[in-house]
Amino acid sequence: MTQDATTNQSFRPIIGIDLGTTNSAAAYIHNQNPAMLEMNNASFMLPSVVLRDPNGQVIVGDDARSALVAMPQYTKSAVKREMGQDTRIELGNQSYRPEEISAMILKEIKKQVESQLSEGEIEAVITVPAYFTNQQRQATKEAGELAGFVVERIINEPTAAALAYGIQNMKNDGHILVYDLGGGTFDVSVVELMDGILEVKASAGNHRLGGEDFDWALVDWFAEKVIDEHQIDPREEPRAKARLKEEAEHVKKQLSFKEAVDVSIPVATVSGNRPIGLETTITQEQFVHLIKPFLAETQYNLEYVLEEAGLARADIDDVILVGGSTRIPNVQKLVTDFFGKTPHSEINPDEAVALGAAVQAGIKAGTLQDSGLIITDVAPFSMGVAVAGEIERELVPGQFHAIIDRNTTIPVTRTHTFSTTFDHQTAVTVEIYQGENDWVTDNYFLNEFSLEGLPAKPAGHEAVDITFRYNINGILEVTAKNASSGNEMTVTIEDAIDRSSDDAFADSLANIEAAYGQGADNTQQLDHWSEIDVTDAMESHADLLKEARDWKDRLQEAFNSNVDNDQSASLQDVINQLDAAIQSKNAITLNDAIENAIDLAINLEL
Q: What are the per-10-residue average pLDDT scores of the chain (606 residues)?
A: 42 88 95 90 92 90 90 93 92 92 96 86 92 88 94 90 87 91 94 89 92 97 95 91 94 94 88 84 97 97 96 96 94 96 88 95 80 81 89 82 92 93 91 92 90 90 93 84 88 54 75 71 34 41 75 80 72 85 78 77 67
Residue 216 has φ and ψ, to the nearest 5°, of -70, -30
196: region left, alpha or beta (phi > 0 left; psi from -120 to 50 alpha): left
Distance of CA 4 to the CA centre of its chain: 29
Strand partners, 581: none
Integer CA distances (angstroms), 590 to 79, 550, 578, in order? 27, 12, 7
The C-alpha angle with vertex 560 and arms to 555 and 564, in degrees rounded to 5, equals: 90
Burial class (CB in 10 A: 0-12, 13-18, 19+), 160: buried
What CA–CA distance (Å, rounded) separates 63 from 77?
12
Position 335 scores a pLDDT of 97
What CA–CA distance (Å, rounded) separates 365 from 150?
13
> Which residue spans within 223-350 are E strands per DSSP?
260-271, 274-283, 318-322
DSSP, residue by residue, 446-488? EEEEEEE-----STTSSEEEEEEEE-TTS-EEEEEE-TTT--E
Active site residues: 18, 80, 157, 180
Burial class (CB in 10 A: 0-12, 13-18, 19+), 25: buried
Give me the count of residues in the chain.
606
* Residue spans of alpha helices (H) in 62-186: 62-70, 98-116, 134-146, 157-166
Give the number of other CB atoms < 10 A from CB of residue 468: 22
Contacts of 551 by beta carbon, 8 Å cutoff, 6+ apart: 578, 593, 594, 597, 598, 601
How does strand 122-128 pair with strand 14-18?
parallel
Report how far apart the first and last C-alpha atoms of the chain are (Å, whole number). 60
* Residue spans of alpha helices (H) in 321-423: 329-339, 352-365
Integer CA distances (angstroms), 270 to 4, 234, 247, 581, in order? 56, 9, 17, 20
Q: Name the helix (H) or strand (E) containing 401.
A: strand 394-404
Strand partners, 34: 29
Contacts of 606 by beta carbon, 8 Å cutoff, 6+ apart: 554, 555, 558, 600
Integer CA distances (angstroms), 195 to 34, 173, 359, 401, 511, in order? 21, 7, 17, 36, 48
Q: For residue 44, what is the DSSP state?
A: S
DSSP, residue by residue, 1-13? --GGGB-TTT--B
Integer CA distances (angstroms), 363 to 4, 33, 136, 157, 200, in order? 11, 11, 25, 16, 17
Q: Please give the single-letter amino acid code of residue 573.
A: D
Q: Name the helix (H) or strand (E) containing 396.
A: strand 394-404
* Residue spans of alpha helices (H) in 484-530: 503-520, 525-528
Which of 159, 168, 171 has its CA nearest to residue 196? 171
Cα R_g (the chain), whole angstroms: 28
What CA–CA distance (Å, rounded) separates 372 from 334?
34
Q: Give yes or no for a contact between 380 and 132, defined as CB atoms under 8 angstroms apart.
A: yes
What CA–CA distance (Å, rounded) separates 475 from 144?
16
> Which residue spans within 195-333 are E strands per DSSP?
197-206, 260-271, 274-283, 318-322
Instruction: Give the SS3 label for residue 144.
Output: helix
306-334 as b/e: b if 16+ CB within 10 A: bebbebeeeebebbbbbbbbbbbebbbeb
What CA–CA distance (Å, rounded) separates 249 from 217?
11
